[in-house]
Amino acid sequence: MLKKDLIELCLLHLLSQGDQYGYELLRRLHDTFPDTQESAVYALLRGLCREGCSEQYLGETSDGPARKYYHITDQGLARYAALLRRWQALQSALEDLGVK
């Protein structure tokens, strides 16, 4: 599983927990993957929307401009499940080789 797939898995996981705005997703990913480029995360979010895995909408804030929120779709939940199975298979294969 390549890093792009892993970041996509993480984005879908975070979105499965509830709607979130782009910067919030980016901040949470940076906590785990500090070298992840902001542009790459937003490109993945746009791709997920284009592929029907998520939807975006503008949400109001008490101060400042509206934020772009992302919502996972049923197709996104299916993609999340498929990526999670791939990740678990990779983990299992690595364990079989003795990689920890």
The letter for the amino acid at 93 is A
- What domain range is 53 assigned to? 3-96
Scanning the structure block, which residue is given the tokens 């792009």? 4
pLDDT given for residue 63 in this prediction: 79
The whole-model pTM stands at: 0.89
Checking if the pLDDT of 19 tops 90, the result is: yes
pLDDT given for residue 100 in this prediction: 77
The share of the chain scoring above pLDDT 90, in percent, equals 78
pLDDT tens digits for range 30-52: 998 899 889 999 999 999 999 99
How far apart CA 15 and CA 77 sit, in angstroms, is: 9
- Total domains present in the chain: 1
pLDDT tens digits for range 55-93: 999 987 777 788 999 999 999 999 999 999 999 999 999
CATH of the domain at 64: 1.10.10.10
In order of 7, 37, 40, 100, the CA distances from 33 in angstroms are 9, 9, 12, 19
Hey, what are 60's tokens? 């109001």
